[in-house]
Amino acid sequence: MSNSPIEKISTVWLGTEGPQIGVQGFGAMGISEFYGDTDEAAARDTLEATVEAGVTLIDTADVYGSGANEEFLAPFLAAHRDEVTLATKFAIERRADDPHYRAVNNSPAYIKKAVEASLRRLGIETIDLYYMHRRDPRTPLAESVGAMAELVQEGKVKYLGLSEVTGAELREAYAVHPIAALQSEWSVFSRDVERSAVPAAAELGVTFVPYSPLGRGFLTGAFADASKELSGGDFRQFQPRFTGDNAKTNAALLEPLHKIAAAHGATTAQIALAWVQQRAQVHGLTVVPIPGTRKRTRLLENTGATRITLSAEELALLEPIAGQVAGDRYPDMSSTSAAREQ
């Protein structure tokens, strides 16, 4: 591990009442599964680098590794509790006897059970930011958010968040209890949230937390033909944008990023992240993307993007890309906010 000093990123406020957090966060999901095997020692070193770099919003969920991700973070949290704003999520159920099973549950009874399990695995008394991971329309939103609000009153949770909801759903939830953060996919490749969710978040003072701001790695430029690159344990081999002709089409769309990166002496990943960060000025809201990595060097590369400013001309070059992307974000889009837009 290098002893060279690390430049810390700037800070912003979480929501209207939350703490100051780094303007870029860290998505811990890939440490436990989805992207192939993990070197645990390297992953722990990367977590230490987050604190050193001022990346204070650490994001996990109970579904990642079926709880293993939260357990992995527990020693790190014990050592850095006062330096970290910990976010976790509930709603997606899995079964040990069926690796393909997924169900969304927003019932108050489930929420109360889920929060206790997450607190136990994380080894903490209070979750800083608790998200509804996915919306289940079968449960009235007011009931779910009401149950989440009770967790705040009980001191088990400090702030509430939602993931993959529409602008109308965000407003409905906010009327029950203030929402600090909205997390949804947002990148140069994925911009459906700009239809209603982003305007609603800006109106309400909700921080927007883009997940997969690097298009699950595609925007790094590493996948000229991703279907030939991915291992058996990598879920991207089943993602429409990474397969067959879609992968080839999407790789060709990166040419403007390569051009802009060369002009800045940066990587395509940094340009993609800089684009997301600058959505804050474009749309008038706080934006804290949560790229994930298991390598210290990538973590520091990612934070370097917060110090890159793209010109109006460069932003214009990137503007049409999302409309040309081949393939949906997921094989099944039914649980996304896009599926519920009116």
Catalytic residues: 64
One DSSP character per residue, 171-240 reads HHHHHHS---EEEEE-SSS--GGGTTHHHHHHHHTPEEEEESTTGGGGGGT--TTGGGT--TTBGGGGSG
The three-state secondary structure class of 90 is strand
CA distance 289 to 285: 13
Nearest CA to 285 among 176, 177, 170, 128? 170
Is 95 strand, coil or helix?
A: strand
> Residue 132 half-sphere exposure, CB side, CA atoms within 13 Å?
34
d(CA 333, CA 288): 24
Please choose, from the candidates 185, 197, 201, the residue with its C-alpha nearest in 3D space to the C-alpha of residue 322: 185
Handedness of CA 34, 39, 44, 46 (dihedral sign): negative
| DSSP for 249-269, written as a single string | HHHHTTHHHHHHHHHHT--HH
Token look-up 């000093």 returns 5
